[in-house]
Amino acid sequence: MSTRTSVLFAAALTAATMCAPLQAQTVLKIGHVLAKGSHYDVGATVFCDEIDKGTQGRYKCQMFPAGSLGGEREQVEAVQLGTQDLVITSTGPVGNFVPDIKVLDIPFLFRDYTHARKTLDGKIGQDLLAKFPAKGLVALAWSENGFRHMTNNKRPIHSVTDAGGLKLRTMENKVHMAGYKTFGILPTPMAMTELFTALQQGTVDGQENPVGVILASKFSQVQKYLSLTGHVYSPALILASPGVWSRLNEADRKVFAAAAGKSAAASRKKVNDDEANGLAQLKKDGMQIDEKVDGDSFRKAVAPAYAEFAKEFGAANIAAIQAVR
């Protein structure tokens, strides 16, 4: 080998070595529908930081908040098709893909956050996550959206009779809609990305979401009354495309699973913080808040619907969730 050839070979080898990390790096698209700073955004940030550290930069995320990749249903479909890598989503539209999880959307199924989290972190929740791969999705962890509350511009909602006739935006979720009809509400399914404008224009009277979503979405600008109905606990999920998951080696799968767990914990902490501190901000923003809603009136109204829920999901399955302590 001539001196010139040796020099050129060494230069080429050096260049290849320098480029190797860039060639090996994979950038993943992760989306959600809530604003920057929301509990989804906090969870996405933690997830991305953890996989960056855990894979020594071989995997990085590009985050797309605030519905920039579409509504929740569109993003779940994109993850299923492999055109989007990851999504953090409420379970609202996911029951259309994995029907078994719709049992979690039954109104007043969960007593409190401790009950809900213990159920999802235990055997019931983990068995549900195991159903996702057969439907073309990989569920990495249960995250959280929170207990949902009603807002509107017409009148305070203290008991179920006050809710009668109100046109409220709901998620594309048949279980929610069936329950809300027992309250006398006119449920109007609509993508989250369209909601602020619909409230602003009066297309709907109100909506229902956790405190953190109401804060992050600035609904206080377009809604007057907030009632802490806590009528449904809304879980969230960190979903990955099967294409992404299949390319990971076993060590990287463990990194992704651990990152999802830390992401879920961070989202839950943010939900806790928003529940503890957010009402003061919403009052400051001008919302009238009923913190002592007549919850029993809502529970009595929805009770007859439980017979239909039992037919769909099995009375034993519902009872098993209610029995978690």
- Give Cβ neighbours of residue 184 (< 8 Å, ≥ 6 apart): 160, 161, 163, 164, 165, 166, 301
Plot region of 210 (φ>0 → left; ψ -120 to 50 → alpha; else → beta): beta
Q: How many CB atoms lie within 10 A of CB 70?
A: 18
Q: How many CB atoms lie within 10 A of CB 277?
A: 11
What is the token pair recorded at 270? 């943010």
**What is the pTM (predicted TM-score) of this model?**
0.90
The percentage of residues in the chain with a pLDDT greater than 70, rounded to a whole number, is 93
What is the token pair recorded at 87? 């999504």
Give me the sign of the Cα torsion angle 149, 153, 156, 162.
negative
Options 3.40.50.150, 1.10.340.30, 3.40.50.300, 3.40.190.170; which CATH number does 25-322 get?
Answer: 3.40.190.170
Q: What is the pLDDT of residue 1?
A: 52
Q: What is the pLDDT of residue 172?
A: 85
Surface-to-core class of residue 320, CB atoms within 10 Å of its CB (0-12 exposed, 13-18 middle, 19+ buried)? middle
Q: Which of 17-26, 217-226, 311-320 has the lowest mean pLDDT?
A: 17-26
Q: How many CB atoms lie within 10 A of CB 153?
A: 14
Taking the domains of the chain in order of start, what are their residue ranges? Answer: 25-322
Instruction: Give the model confidence (pLDDT) of 228-260 as tens digits.
Output: 999 999 999 999 999 999 999 999 999 999 999
Q: Between 125 and 8, where is the model more confident?
A: 125
Residue 188: alpha-carbon gap to chain centroid: 19
Cα(first)–Cα(last) distance of the chain, in Å? 76
Please give the sequence-ordered ranges of beta strands (E in DSSP) within the chain, or none if there are none.
26-31, 59-64, 86-90, 138-152, 167-170, 186-189, 206-209, 225-240, 288-290
Q: What is the mean pLDDT of residues 61-69?
A: 97
Instruction: Give the model confidence (pLDDT) of 88-116 as tens digits.
Output: 999 999 999 999 999 999 999 999 999 99
Q: Number of H helices and number of E strands within the chain?
A: 14, 9
Q: What is the pLDDT of residue 24?
A: 77
The candidate with the shortest Cα–Cα distance to 139, out of 83, 92, 187, 98, is 98
Q: Which of 11-25, 137-151, 179-193 has the lowest mean pLDDT?
A: 11-25
The candidate with the shortest Cα–Cα distance to 110, out of 300, 299, 304, is 299
User: Residues 202, 178: contact at Cβ < 8 Å?
Assistant: no
The percentage of residues in the chain with a pLDDT greater than 90, rounded to a whole number, is 92
What b/e readout covers 197-216, taking b as 16+ CB neighbours within 10 angstroms?
ebbeeeebbbbbbbbbbbbb
